[in-house]
């Protein structure tokens, strides 16, 4: 059985800066990282490999430099890494992204049966949490989102039991394979690559599939296949507030001023 893990290379959003003049994102010099949730997806796939001997394939759609992300996956022990890269895939929204990823998974499935696909809960750049459900729906796999524990996997019965983390509750759900899981951070602690594995992975190569391989109708992918488009990008507006009193020299006085201000403007009723 093949386990497929989807990983996206993302800019480290803690280091993103906005150009104060043009109000656009400064992309130069921002380091790229593996989407943090996807590191947990990858770890879970490797644990399934360790326990059941499944093969693991890592998939990423992105520009050629996303190869670095897949190299890291190889160093951690995935058996196969595929970069889906082609200009015609660019500018995709989640509908078009899940189209390409699901077609690639269907292609892998023709060589070896895919039982489990694992995605992160969401990315830290696009941040939509829509790609996982998109892939599952297209492939007709059962989708189990927000998994924080894989409770049981029975490879003979082809069934999986997982715990899902929702608002104020957890749900234990059982489903037949194939399934698509999206995972949260609480699921596991990602491992680090060992030196021998890192060295070994230097030999391993990332396969690149363009649309030459996938042969998808261009109407359904990239910018053309995306129903949504970004019409405007701007910085969140913020108006500076008022500093009350001199909190360093007279904390009690400043505190009194603040509370009285809230009370007199009816923001607080005592």
Partner 1 sequence: EARALAEKLAAYRGVWVFVEQTEGEPARVSWELMGKGRELADTLGVPLSAVVVGSRVEELCYESFCYGADQAYLVDEPVFRHYRTEAYLKAVCRMIDDYRPEIVLMGATGLGRDLAGAVATVVGTGLTADCTGLGIDDKRNLMQTRPAFGGNIMATIMCDRFRPQMATVRPHVMPLPERVAGSSGTVIRLRSKVREEDILTKVLEIVSDRNKDQVDVAGAEFIVSGGRGMMGKENFVLLQELADELGGVVGASRSAVDAGWMPHERQVGQTGKTVRPKIYIACGISGAIQHLVGMQDSDVIIAINRDPEAPIFEVAHLGIVGDLFQVVPALTERLRSLKQKAPETAVCSNG
SS3 208: strand
Neighbours of 41 (CB within 10 A): 29
* Binding segment toward ligand FAD, per CB under 6 A, in 71-79, 119-127, 193-201, 205-213: 119-127
Closer residue to partner 1, CB minimum distance, 50 or 171: 171
By three-state DSSP, how is residue 182 classified? strand
What is the rounded CA–CA span in Å between residue 214 and residue 224? Answer: 17
Q: Which tokens is 1 given?
A: 């059985």
Token pair for 77: 């022990």
Q: Which of 67, 79, 125, 213 binds partner 1 (CB under 8 A)?
A: 125
175 binds, among ligand FAD, partner 1, none (CB under 5 to 8 A by kind): partner 1
Which of 2, 3, 48, 119 forms a contact with ligand FAD (CB under 6 A)?
119
Site for ligand FAD in 79-98 (CB under 6 A): 92-94, 97
Residue 171 binds which one of ligand FAD, partner 1, none, with CB within 5 to 8 A depending on kind?
partner 1
User: Which of 124, 183, 206, 216 contacts partner 1 by CB under 8 A?
Assistant: 124
Q: Is 222 in the site for partner 1 (CB under 8 A)?
A: no
Q: Is 164 in the site for partner 1 (CB under 8 A)?
A: yes
Contact map string, positions 29 to 68, toward ligand FAD, x by CB under 6 A: ------xxxx--x-----------------xxxx------
Find the shortest distance in angstroms from Cβ 157 to ligand FAD. Answer: 27
Q: By the 8 A CB rule, do 108 and 57 touch?
A: yes
The Cα-based distances of 105 to 126, 135, 139, 236, 248 in angstroms read 22, 9, 9, 38, 60
Rounded Cα gap, residues 36 and 122, in angstroms? 9
- Tokens 């989807």 locate to 6
Give the sign of the dihedral formed by CA 64, CA 86, CA 184, CA 197. negative
Question: For binding to ligand FAD (CB under 6 A), which residues are involved?
Answer: 6-8, 14, 35-38, 41, 59-62, 92-94, 97, 101, 119-120, 122-132, 228, 230
């Amino acid at each position: 059985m093949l386990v497929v893990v989807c990983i996206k290379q993302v800019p480290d959003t803690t280091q993103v800066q906005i150009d104060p003049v043009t109000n656009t994102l400064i992309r130069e010099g921002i380091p790229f990282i593996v989407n943090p949730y996807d590191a947990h997806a990858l770890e879970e796939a490797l644990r399934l490999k360790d326990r059941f001997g499944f093969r693991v394939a890592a998939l990423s759609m992105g520009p050629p430099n996303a190869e670095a992300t897949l190299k890291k996956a190889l160093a951690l022990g995935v058996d196969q890494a595929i970069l889906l890269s082609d200009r015609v895939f660019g500018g995709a929204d989640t509908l078009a992204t899940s189209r390409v990823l699901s077609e690639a998974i269907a292609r892998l499935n023709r060589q070896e049966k895919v039982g489990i696909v694992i995605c992160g809960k969401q990315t830290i750049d696009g941040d939509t949490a829509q790609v996982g459900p998109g892939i599952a729906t297209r492939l007709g796999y059962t989708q189990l989102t927000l998994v924080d524990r894989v409770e049981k996997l029975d490879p003979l019965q082809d069934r999986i039991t997982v715990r899902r983390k929702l608002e104020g509750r957890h749900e234990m759900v059982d489903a037949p394979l194939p399934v698509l899981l999206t995972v949260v951070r609480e699921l596991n602690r990602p491992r680090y690559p060992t030196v021998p594995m890192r060295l070994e992975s230097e030999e391993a190569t990332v396969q690149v599939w363009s649309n030459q391989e996938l042969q998808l109708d261009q109407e359904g992918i990239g910018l053309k296949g995306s129903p949504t488009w970004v019409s405007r990008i701007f910085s969140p507006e913020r108006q500076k507030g008022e500093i009350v009193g001199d909190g360093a020299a007279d904390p009690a006085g400043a505190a009194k001023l603040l509370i009285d201000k809230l009370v007199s403007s009816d923001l607080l009723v005592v």
